[in-house]
Amino acid sequence: MKNCILALICILSLSSQAQERPKLVVGIVVDQMKMEYLYRFYNDFSEGGFKRLVNKGYTFHNMHYNYVPTYTAPGHATIYTGATPNIHGIVGNEWFHRTLGKTVYCTDDDGVKTIGSTAEVDLKNPMSPKNLQATTITDELRLSTNFKGKVIGMSLKDRGAILPAGHFANWAFWFSKNGDFISSTFYGDKLPDWVTKFNAEKHYL
């Protein structure tokens, strides 16, 4: 009898370990979108879009940030690290750095270079997650899969792509002033071919 119970425990243990992992996980953050908008504009959404998220996803109805101010960059960092600004280090979109004696932007990094743009404003402002002082859920995904899982951050704003993607992302892409997706040498020496092709097609026109 004991052997049967032990065998059953082993089978159940193996069964739980063999659960199929999802092949794709998509995280979406919409700046300044209140929870109530999902219901106020419900009839305007498509079946495969927000309606699917509302009907088949897990919803938190009464969430609050326990810090102020709730700027964009701290919000992204808080959502993806599960920590507050005093822990993850992103206390604003920009802040005064006492050691450096100057104001710094949340994703500033003079140790990297911008790739994918020749615009002076982009070249003068290279970006990376250097200022983020905690790991993100995307970092933990990379670690838990021994870096086999891929993480890509994309956003119109640099901070919206870089901070959620974390320290170990394969890539982060954001819009330049001329409407192309750009990145930095933190992720690679040049843009992937598919990004270069997408930029050349000028989808924003």
89 versus 9: which is more confidently predicted? 89
Comparing CA positions, the residue from 146, 110, 135, 106 lying closest to residue 125 is 110
Place of tokens 């970006």: 127
- Angstrom distance (rounded) from CA 127 to CA 137: 20
* Number of Cα atoms under 13 Å in the Cβ half of residue 37: 7
- Catalytic positions are 72
Distance CA 69, CA 90 (A): 11
Which residues of the chain form beta strands (DSSP E)?
Answer: 94-97, 102-105, 114-115, 152-155, 171-175, 181-184
pLDDT of res. 164: 98
Share of the chain above pLDDT 70, in %: 90
Read off the pLDDT of residues 137-157 as tens digits, 9 standing for 90 and up: 999 999 999 999 999 999 999
pLDDT digits (tens, 9 = 90+) for 76-98: 999 999 999 999 999 999 999 99
In sequence order, which residues have a C-beta less than 8 Å from that of residue 98 and are 6 or more positions away?
Answer: none
For helices 137-144 and 72-81, what crossing angle results, to 10°? 40
Q: What would you report as the CA-atom Rg of the chain, rounded to the nearest whole angstrom?
A: 21
Q: Could you read off the pLDDT of 171-183 as tens digits, one per residue?
A: 999 999 888 999 9
What distances in angstroms separate CA 198 from CA 81, 111, 171, 186, 189, one per listed residue? Answer: 30, 27, 15, 21, 18
Of 149, 122, 126, 154, nearest to 138 by C-alpha is: 149
Contact indicator for 163, 76 with CB cutoff of 8 Å: yes
pTM summary value:
0.85
- Share in percent of the chain as helix, strand, coil (round to 5): 35, 10, 55
Asked if 93 contacts 31 with a C-beta cutoff of 8 angstroms, the reply is: no
- pLDDT, position 205: 62
Looking at residue 58, its pLDDT comes to 80
